[in-house]
Chain A
Amino acid sequence: MIDPASIVPPPHPNDHKISPWVDEQIWGHRLWDSESPWLLFLEFLSVAEACYRDGNLLREDERFRPLAFKPNKRMYLRNILFNNEEMLRIAERHPDSASGWTAWLQTIEEKAFGISAPRDFSFLKKRFHSFHQFAAIVAMIRGSDVEGTSNKRWTSRFLFPFGPNALYEDLIANPTSGTVSRDYVNFGRTGELLYLMLCRSSRKDELTKHLTRILEPGGPWNQLVGLLQPANADDERSTRGNSYLPYKQHSTFDRLSGDWISVLTLRLPRYDVLPYLVTLGALHIVLYQLGLSIEWQERAKPLHLVCEIVAPRKSLVRELSFESYIENNLLPMQAVTAYIDQIAHSTAWRDALNDPGGFVHCRQILQDRVRWGESPEDYDGPSDPNALLGELRAVSLSGHKQHVANVHRSYGREIGLVSKRGTNKLRYAPTDSLLKALLLANVPDRMELGEFLQRLFDRYGFVIGDRQAENVLPKELFDKKAFQANARRLEERLGSLGLLKRLSDGCAYVANPYRQPSI
């Protein structure tokens, strides 16, 4: 049940030309499916860096006014790294450093995009021993881009987040005007939602300390990336913002920050912690989407995901995981329908039904609630409230299916929760890297395996072992042996990853490798 007092008032209609405004009221503006988990995390980091620079890390306005921030563009850096094909050719053709610099500076100053005149790259000469050394370093840094294999435009290629010098926002180049601007294709705003969620979590002060370490301008690699940028700080930043998270607090926000804090506390060497933050961040977005879908439908049964630890043959657990996936995949759509049905059952609507001139009221009610219905462009059919509602449902669902409905599947696949491995349909089959991330977040030192399975169920709804399955599945579908075999496979997988210590007698302990003094 959603408590109305916990809902943040929605932004002014003029701030967003979105109609109907349904998905956004349930999950916020916005959940975007074409963002991979790494892009999600990078978007989050660019927001966090901007707020940190303003001295506001994880601090939000008390009245929950829309978050505004000024992320870096770093066009010098990006031109050097990603809009610079001639560099290696010039390095080959000019064995002498001075002529190499001259030739290259000429090319880059001509080609550089998104930087207003004067485009002066000569600051680089003082910082590197030679042009060839500069070229080698650029090639090396370029090689550590994130998801470099997908054919993206150069303005959407991202560097590994070595530190604040490597963070910038997603941009699109407008060839006609010669400027760059923001579109929301790669950074789709879900990273902003992630940031807001952490702002509203109960452990944000603790998290702030850890994030400060990541955002602090230190570290050799961050320095190195900084060398490719001019010293003066003016970056022609633009103000961004305007996302909307409907809830002042929620258990998902706390679980997310809890998991991040657990992993950050481990003090993994250098940047090793980042992939785990990426995976856990995207996981909690999925659980957020599904969890809220259930709350809006007022369903009593909590969220659960039957997970198959991949087996060589078809098994009962696999069948159940297919069904579990399909059932959960429908939840967001059902939530949209439930939301609209709530309007239909509201007193205002029912009054309007009884009122002879009520149809106009109906349209007004809808316009107030979901910013849709008054204009004839929205609806110009017969003056029948049911038909009006039907049209609203159809329009909402079709809009929902384009993007928000896909978040569960696309994020799920990217983090290794959902897959078709070994079969031809999608189902829940956690990969080794997801299992490792879950272990690092939940096992500070060591934990008996049964306890670990229970914890996965309590915190995420994962059903892997027989004890959890028994509680959740109807009697006729439950098979103890199948789930015991499933748990045993988990034991073997964790063992092969070096994360489990087997004692005899089926007694096993999962252990966090970053807590042991010697192997």
Chain B
Amino acid sequence: MNWIKFIRQYGPIPRNDNMYDESIQRAARKRAVRPIIFEHPSHHSVLSLFDAQREPTSVILTGTAGDGKTHLCREVWEKLTGERGGLNEPLVQASCTYAGGRKIPVYIIKDLSEWAPQGGATWDPAKEQLLQRFCRSIFDSAASEVFLVAANDGQLIESWRRLSNDPHVARARNVFETLLVEDRQELPGINLKFFNLSRGSSAALFDRALNAFLNHEGWEECRNVSAGEQDFFGINCPIRHNYELLQKELVRKRLRALLELCDFNDLHVPIRQILLLLSNAVLGHPDAKDCLMRPLDIPTLIQRGAISKASLYNNIFGGNLPENRREAITVFDYLERFRIGHETTNRIDNILIFGEADEKFRAHFDLLVASDRFYGADDRYRAAQLEYLEGTDDDGKYKPFLQLLVSKRRGLFFVIPEDLENELGLWELTVFKYAGEYLSRLVAPLRAARPVEQPIVARLIKGLNRIFSGMLVTTDRELLLATSLSFSNAKISRLLEERVSVRPRLHEKVEVTFDGMLPKLTVCLTEQIARSLDLHLVRYEFLSRVAEGALPSSFSRECYEDILAFKGQLLAALAERQQLHKDLETEHSLTIRLLNLDDVGNPTEDIIEVLND
């Protein structure tokens, strides 16, 4: 079927990445199929800048490969010229009528890396001149020309460094760096809008991409083929089954949650990667050519009884691909970090391994595993299970079963119903045990402008206190800012500088806020003095684990260093506040507050006061 052969093009086939766009277009023409298209989330923001009501503004589109930069350039071209095609050269020129009826030339560079000199070569003087005009135009409020430049962020900075030093070029480079590193769209006084497409929400992209994928007319064609039991798109066809699974509410929800959590870990999945994920999910099979099934493979696979290897649940993590290929693909690298399939609990494994035989686990086994006639407990599974349970001590014999278990656990992640989530510990199938709570009890209320529940905030405070002091304190009603005698970053800090109240008291408070993209923990010392800590998923997990007893040096060193750095900032803020109250302090005695713990973990203070001569 042409549609299936076409969507293979989106999958993890070996190809030259620079030619992605072209090869999709070519394949679409060849198969007479419409490419998968949907409106980019930034579509309106970008296109509205080229409008008769606006002032002329230059635009930079940046991000990684597959973020949709070229696509957006094409949309702008179409708006300005009315043509669909024609954006074939790296640099093209159009014009746009802006506010006041001014008609201004618009230069579009749809791919800076194509246009810029390769390797260590120097710039062509004509091209250099054009870019210098670009640099000048963004500092000129009455610009007479507008530029739209699309480039990967690394390319952008690199190319600008190789331009010869002109004060505008240097200033422009500074502006780009600031916009990139500080994650901003514009700077005051600069005539430029900066869109970093890799800052968008992967989950939002997923929604659009999935809808476009599932609702494509290509599937209609597949359905219209009258298929027998052993045929492609028949009742036993794994491709059809995978397609139907993807339409299931629960599967979509869980997959979207994973991508959303990637966003909250600062990992962005570009559009190209999402389409790869979808294509691989539906077509993946380890034994097929390029590990993607084709219609003519189906009868053989069904006959061989090998359809369970086409499990959608396993394909989502790239389990159908050889390891080195999987590791090189961004979306599988990100999803792999959840370690789904490798993490588990006794409960889950008992269901999977002993479920059929043991009464205790039978009900869950039937519901979650046995009911799936494609990817649940098929003959292959049962055989390996038997070997594992009753086989000899020989090492090699149970390896196939353990590998199958990985696949089954992945299946469970997408199949455990919502009402059993807590009982079975859905998120303990991942390395982020607190991820479910993160989404439902932290992000959801913040998005709805409701306050976060007290127990959640309390746990974060407890985690912070344990790291700040290096001791197993249990207090969660105040934040303990402690240092050691010599270094503020020592592992154990017993000198108490201050206790900051969590509940609003005088001007102090600690609260969890939201800036539209990420939750933040904000510590306010006065009305003007405050510091924030971004609560990525990793940091949330880390703090929660520490609060529940893990040692600060486990799980993530990066988080540990980040939190210590936050403590340093809070101490600096405290010093700032103390400067304000300097006249109120007595210089006659020196007070030292030594932190100690009682049996239950409550912090107590030994106050040592020393007199000055």
Query: What chain A residues lie within 8 Å of B268 (beta carbons)?
Result: 504
Q: Mind listing 28 A-B residue pairs with CB under 8 Å? A: A126-B613, A128-B610, A129-B609, A140-B485, A143-B485, A144-B485, A160-B486, A224-B592, A231-B613, A269-B572, A269-B575, A270-B483, A446-B177, A497-B561, A498-B562, A503-B153, A503-B181, A504-B268, A505-B65, A505-B154, A507-B152, A507-B153, A507-B154, A509-B181, A513-B565, A519-B532, A519-B533, A519-B569
As a 0/1 sequence over residues 488 to 519 of chain A, the CB contacts with chain B under 8 angstroms (1 = contact) are 00000001111001011111010101100011
A272 touches B485 (CB 8 A): no
- Which residues on the A side are within 8 Å of B308 (C-beta)? none
Mask, B35-77, CB within 8 Å of A = 1, is 0000000000000000000000000000111000000000000
| Residues 556 to 610 of chain B near chain A (Cβ within 8 Å) | 557-558, 561-562, 565-566, 568-569, 571-572, 575, 590, 592, 594, 606, 608-610
Which one of B180, B532, B558 lies within 8 Å of A498 (CB-CB)? B558
Q: Does A220 contact B (CB under 8 A)?
A: yes
Q: Which 9 A-B pairs have the closest CB atoms?
A: A507-B154, A505-B154, A504-B64, A144-B485, A498-B561, A505-B152, A496-B558, A160-B486, A518-B532
A330 at the A/B interface (Cβ < 8 Å)? no
A128 to B609, CA, bound (A): 8
Closest A residue to B539 by beta carbon equals A519
- Cα–Cα, bound, A507→B487 (Å): 33
Q: Which of A250-268 contact B (CB under 8 A)?
A: 268
Chain B contact surface mostly? mixed
The answer to the question of A345 belonging to the interface, with a C-beta cut-off of 8 Å to chain B, is no
**CB nearest neighbor in A for B534:** A519
Q: Is A89 in the interface zone, CB < 8 Å from B?
A: no
- The answer to the question of B132 belonging to the interface, with a C-beta cut-off of 8 Å to chain A, is no
With both chains docked as a complex, state the minimum distance between the C-beta of B460 and any C-beta of chain A, in angstroms: 15
How far is A226 from B572 in the complex, measured between Cα atoms in Å? Answer: 26
Are A498 and B565 neighbours in the complex by a CB distance under 8 Å? yes
**B157 on the A face (CB < 8 A):** yes
Chain B positions within 8 Å of A513 at CB level: 565, 568
A224 touching B590, Cβ below 8 Å = yes
In the assembled complex, the Cα of A505 lies from the Cα of B62 at a distance in Å of 11
A126–B611 Cα distance when bound, in Å, is 9
- Shortest beta-carbon distance from B337 to chain A in Å: 14
Whole-angstrom CA separation of A448 from B155 in the bound complex = 13
Inter-chain contacts of B606 with A (CB < 8 A): 136
Instruction: Report the tally of A-B residue pairs with Cβ distances under 8 A.
Output: 111
Complex Cα spacing A140 to B595, Å:
12
Which interface class (under 10, 10 to 19, 20 to 34, 35 or more) fits A? 35 or more
Any A CB within 8 A of the CB of B489: yes
A475 within 8 A of B: no
Which B residues touch A231, using CB under 8 A? Answer: 613
On whether the beta carbons of A496 and B487 are closer than 8 Å, the reply is no
Are A505 and B489 touching (Cβ within 8 A)? no
Q: Inside 8 A of B592's CB, which chain A residues have their CB?
A: 137, 140, 224
**Binary flags per residue of A135-169, CB closer than 8 Å to B gives 1, else 0:** 01100110110000000000000001010000000
Q: Does B475 contact A (CB under 8 A)?
A: no
Residues in A whose Cβ lies below 8 Å from that of B611: 126-129
- CB under 8 Å from chain A, chain B span 502-557: 531-534, 557
CB neighbours (8 Å) of A446 from chain B are 177, 181
**Which residues from chain B contact A498 at a C-beta distance below 8 Å?**
558, 561-562, 565
Q: How far is the CA of A519 from the CA of B489 in the complex (A)?
A: 17
Interface size on B, residues (CB 8 A): 46
Q: Contacts A501-B181, A507-B153, A518-B532 hold; do A270 and B488 have CB atoms under 8 A apart?
A: yes
- Given A223-B590, A272-B489, A496 contacting B561 (CB threshold 8 A): yes
Instruction: Kindly identify, within residues 177 to 204 of chain B, every residue whose CB is under 8 Å from any CB belonging to chain A.
Output: 177, 180-181, 198
Measured in the bound complex, the distance between the Cα atoms of B485 and A140 in whole Å is: 9
> Cβ of B440 < 8 Å from any Cβ of A?
no
In the assembled complex, which residues on chain B have CB atoms less than 8 Å from the CB atom of A501? 181
Known: A128-B610, A271-B487, A498-B562. 15 other contacts (CB 8 A): A127-B611, A129-B609, A129-B611, A144-B486, A223-B612, A227-B613, A269-B483, A271-B486, A272-B487, A272-B488, A446-B177, A497-B561, A504-B268, A507-B154, A518-B569
Decide: A504 near B154, CB < 8 A? Known: A227-B610, A498-B558: yes
Out of A133, A144, A448, A519, which one reaches B608, CB within 8 Å?
A133
**Please, which residues of chain A bring their CB within 8 A of the CB of B572?**
269
Nearest chain-A residue to B63 (Cβ)?
A: A504
B608 touches A137 (CB 8 A): yes
Q: Smallest distance from the beta carbon of B105 to chain A beta carbons, Å?
A: 30
| A184 at interface, CB cutoff 8 A | no
Query: How far, in whole Å, are A498 and B157 apart by their CA atoms in the complex?
Result: 22
Q: Check A505 against B485 for contact (C-beta < 8 Å).
A: no
Query: Which residues of the partner chain B approach A140 to less than 8 Å between Cβ atoms?
Result: 485, 592, 594
Do B486 and A127 touch across chains, with their CB atoms under 8 A apart?
no
Indicate if the CB atoms of B613 and A518 lie closer than 8 Å.
no
Q: What is the 8 Å Cβ interface bit string for chain A, positions 316-342, against chain B (1 contact, 0 not)?
A: 000000000000000000000000000
Residue among A223, A495, A509 making CB contact with B558, cutoff 8 Å:
A495
Q: How far is the CB of A189 from chain B (nearest CB, A)?
A: 26
A447 to B, closest residue via Cβ: B177
Complex CA–CA separation, A506 to B158 (angstroms): 11
With CB as the reference atom, state the residue of chain A lying closest to B609.
A129
- Minimum Cβ distance to chain A for residue B448 (Å): 25
In the assembled complex, the Cα of A448 lies from the Cα of B160 at a distance in Å of: 13
Select which of B152, B198, B488 is within 8 A of A269 by beta carbon.
Answer: B488
A475 to B608 alpha-carbon distance, docked (Å): 66
Of B177, B571, B613, which is in contact with the most chain A CB atoms at under 10 Å from its CB?
B613
A496/B483 contact (C-beta < 8 A), A223-B612, A448-B157 known: no
Chain B residues contacting A275 (CB-CB under 8 Å) are: 487
**A518 cross-chain contacts in B, Cβ below 8 A:** 531-533, 569
Q: Tell me the smallest distance from the CB of B607 to a CB of chain A, in Å.
A: 10
A106 to chain B, nearest CB (A): 24
